[in-house]
Homo-oligomer: A and B are copies of this chain.
Amino acid sequence: MHTSFEGELGDRSAWALEHCSIAMTMDAIGQRSSILILREAFYGITRFDDFVRFTQGSEANVAVRLKHLTGLGLFTKHPYQDHGKRTRYEYVLTDKGSDLLPALFALLQWGDNYLQPEGTRPLRLEERATGEPVRIVARGASGTDLSLNDIAIIMDSNRASALTKNV
């Protein structure tokens, strides 16, 4: 076994779903269409019809998702006006939205490594300043890259003891 809990493992079950950040995050943005919209936002897209075109989703669903993500505070709506057109709104990532960068690009990186046909690398991420490749990694304070074996998962002990054991 790689990882270990420094705490009472048995008490996790009640806590697991209700307080787990991974489950909460999946419920908030886990829909495929939300992820694709966020992808386009990271690529620089801001306008409704561009989200529709590039995600190849239906207008109806993109509207629902943008409203949902805006309601969560991942996007803010900024008015703009093209020449000869009426005022529209563009959807701009907030800090809360931008902070999903590691999550989104980690999915990209894994898909590139394991799901793309051999030799394919449709997108590349570069550090703008140097042109060097960008990787998503787990890092310790010392700056080293960490793998699963290097990481301990620690549960707050007074939270652990507050849970009922319904295993």
Chain A residues packing against B (C-beta within 8 Å): 1-5, 12-13, 15-17, 19-28, 30, 32, 35-36, 39, 42-44, 46, 53-56, 93, 96, 98-116, 120-130, 132-144, 146-156, 159, 167
12 A–B pairs (Cβ distance < 8 Å), ordered by A: A5-B43, A20-B36, A21-B107, A21-B122, A22-B108, A93-B148, A99-B113, A123-B155, A124-B153, A127-B141, A127-B142, A133-B141
Instruction: Count identical subunits in the complex.
Output: 2
Given known A-B contacts A133-B141, A154-B126, A30 and B28 have beta carbons under 8 A apart: no
A2 and B99 alpha carbons, distance in the complex (Å): 13
Contact (Cβ within 8 A) A3 B44: yes
Which residues of the partner chain B approach A22 to less than 8 Å between Cβ atoms?
35-36, 39, 104, 107-108, 111
Q: Give the residue name and chain of the B residue nearest to A120 (CB).
A: B19
Which residues of the partner chain B approach A36 to less than 8 Å between Cβ atoms?
17, 20, 22-23, 26
